[in-house]
């Protein structure tokens, strides 16, 4: 796992975050809280699906070797890691009966345990007549019986052509696993289905605003995106299945194969350290959730923002050890939100990111095709907190969910904010 950069001298501690949680048992519904870090294991898994043709699908996966246990048969090196990659398909998010499954075993050897590399591979998905389904992918380290799981919504119908594009590193043609990149990045996009077509491209600016508190009602939700500020075209020749694209400025790059369909493939250009907290700005902005406007303005105007942020946490916690722990958890949640909830804006600036930072990881999460329900506490307990997020339709992302705000959440919001301001970290 990655460590936070040392940002506040004498105060920062190493922060280890689980990119994926371990698999968890199911109840009557499939509780997917583990997908967002509940019971984190320290093992990372990334995956994406690409359709090279209308009836073929490939699963690509990536695992960093630093998360694996390498063992020797004796006598020293070489050391070996053994990982099983498996998948199950489901009709929809609420289904608990697999339609299909498959697995493969990946082995790696190394003479040096300090070697840090990435294992990237692929697995052909079995043919399916379904145009959409849910794919659950699991990587299990067989040397220590540890695993991580993630879920992907798969769509092969023409209404959402996102998975008919595969971003590649132009240096080695290996797949990229995050569509959120840095300004100045050049990548190769492969799309075998759209050979010989003209793609319509557009660049959109990103709103810099923050979500309102969970109890605020009566205000119109923020727009999902702004109108494009520039457009361009990409020609794919009759014998060309890929092209290079350079992301020269922050914002959203959107490519459409059909002018009659707003959906296509989208790339998002984020800050230089995304998804990590690695600058004064990264430290400052998330504090707005737990500070007054006057406090925030005062910290923003300080000669040293880093020093002002340090002072805020020291004053809140009362001593350095408690401040260190509050910092570790607060900015850890910022990074975790970036990993899981990012859409056209960074994950910490989304509604789910807001709730995750202030309240933590829910006890239970239940997902449907168009919504998620988060439960903090026991189900059907009147004292538990419930948050419902509904999918906002838009051409850029299937990960854009908006909170159904409720005035009844006002007390819980202020209790948790006050806990943060007193250096006390509560789960809910």
The alpha carbon dihedral of 263, 266, 271, 277 has a sign of positive
CA distance 44 to 64: 7
Position 27 confidence tier, pLDDT thresholds 50, 70, 90: very low
Residue 379 within a domain: yes
Cβ 220 vs Cβ 405: under 8 Å: no
The angle formed by the CA atoms of residues 207, 266 and 233, to the nearest 5 degrees, is 105
Q: Among 131, 154, 177, where does a domain finish?
A: 154
Residue 289 within a domain: yes
Averaged pLDDT for residues 63-89: 91
Closest CA to 206 of 183, 231, 225: 225
For 26, 27, 33, 36, 269, the CA distances from 364, given in Å and listed in that order, are 10, 10, 5, 11, 32
Contacting residues for 231 by C-beta, under 8 A, at least 6 apart: 200, 201, 202, 203
CA distance 266 to 255: 6
Residue 93 within a domain: yes
Give the model's pLDDT for residue 34: 81
For residue range 292-306, list pLDDT tens digits in order.
Answer: 999 999 999 999 999
Position 145 confidence tier, pLDDT thresholds 50, 70, 90: confident
Lowest mean pLDDT among 222-226, 262-266, 393-397, 398-402: 222-226
Q: Say what the pTM is.
A: 0.84
CA distance 412 to 428: 8
Give the model's pLDDT for residue 9: 31
Residue 413 within a domain: yes
Residue 169 within a domain: no
Q: Among 119, 154, 189, where does a domain finish?
A: 154
Give the model's pLDDT for residue 427: 58
Lowest mean pLDDT among 4-18, 189-203, 310-324, 401-415: 4-18
Position 327 confidence tier, pLDDT thresholds 50, 70, 90: very high
Residue 123 within a domain: yes
Residue 266 within a domain: no
CATH number (domain holding residue 134): 2.60.40.10
CA distance 144 to 403: 39
Residue 320 within a domain: yes
Lowest mean pLDDT among 8-12, 283-287, 406-410: 8-12
Range of 128's domain? 45-154
Q: Among 154, 175, 208, where does a domain finish?
A: 154
Lowest mean pLDDT among 33-47, 102-116, 271-285: 33-47
Give the model's pLDDT for residue 223: 59
* Number of structural domains the chain divides into: 2
């Amino acid at each position: 796992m990655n460590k936070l950069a040392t940002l506040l001298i004498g105060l920062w501690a190493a922060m280890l975050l689980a990119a994926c949680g371990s698999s968890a048992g199911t109840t009557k519904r499939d509780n997917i809280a583990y997908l967002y870090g509940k019971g984190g294991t320290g093992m990372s898994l990334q995956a994406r699906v690409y359709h090279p043709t209308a009836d073929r699908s490939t699963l690509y996966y990536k695992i960093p070797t630093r998360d694996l246990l390498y063992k020797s048969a004796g006598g020293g090196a070489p050391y070996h890691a053994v990982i099983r990659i498996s998948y199950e398909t489901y009709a929809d998010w609420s289904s608990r009966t697999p339609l299909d499954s498959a697995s493969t075993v990946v082995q790696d050897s190394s003479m040096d345990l300090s070697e840090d590399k990435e294992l990237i591979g692929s697995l052909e998905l079995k043919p399916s007549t379904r145009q959409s389904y849910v794919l659950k992918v699991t990587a299990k380290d067989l040397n220590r019986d540890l695993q991580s799981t993630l879920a992907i919504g798969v769509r092969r119908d023409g209404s959402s052509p996102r998975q008919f594009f595969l971003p590649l590193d132009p240096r080695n043609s290996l797949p990229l696993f995050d569509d959120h990149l840095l300004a100045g990045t050049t990548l190769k996009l492969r799309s075998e289905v759209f050979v010989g077509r003209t793609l319509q491209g557009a660049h959109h600016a990103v709103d810099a605003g923050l979500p309102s508190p969970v109890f605020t009602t009566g205000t119109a939700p923020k727009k999902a995106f702004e109108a494009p500020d520039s457009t361009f075209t990409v020609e794919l020749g009759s014998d060309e299945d890929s092209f290079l694209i350079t992301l020269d400025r922050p914002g959203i790059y959107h490519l459409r194969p059909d002018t009659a369909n707003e959906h296509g493939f989208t790339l998002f250009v984020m800050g230089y350290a995304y998804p990590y907290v690695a600058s004064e700005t990264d430290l400052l902005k998330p504090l707005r959730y737990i500070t007054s406007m006057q406090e925030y303005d005062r910290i923003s105007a300080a000669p040293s923002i880093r020093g002002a942020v340090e002072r805020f946490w020291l004053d809140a916690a009362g001593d350095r050890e408690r401040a260190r722990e509050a910092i570790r958890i607060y900015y850890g949640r910022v990074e975790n939100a970036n990993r899981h909830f990012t859409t056209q804006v960074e994950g910490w600036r989304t509604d789910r990111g807001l709730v995750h930072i202030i309240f933590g990881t829910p006890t239970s999460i239940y997902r449907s095709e168009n919504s998620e329900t988060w439960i903090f506490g026991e189900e059907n307990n009147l004292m538990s907190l419930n948050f419902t997020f509904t999918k906002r339709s838009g051409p850029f992302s299937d990960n854009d969910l908006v909170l159904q705000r409720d005035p009844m959440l006002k007390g819980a919001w202020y209790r948790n904010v006050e806990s943060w301001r007193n250096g006390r970290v509560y789960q809910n």
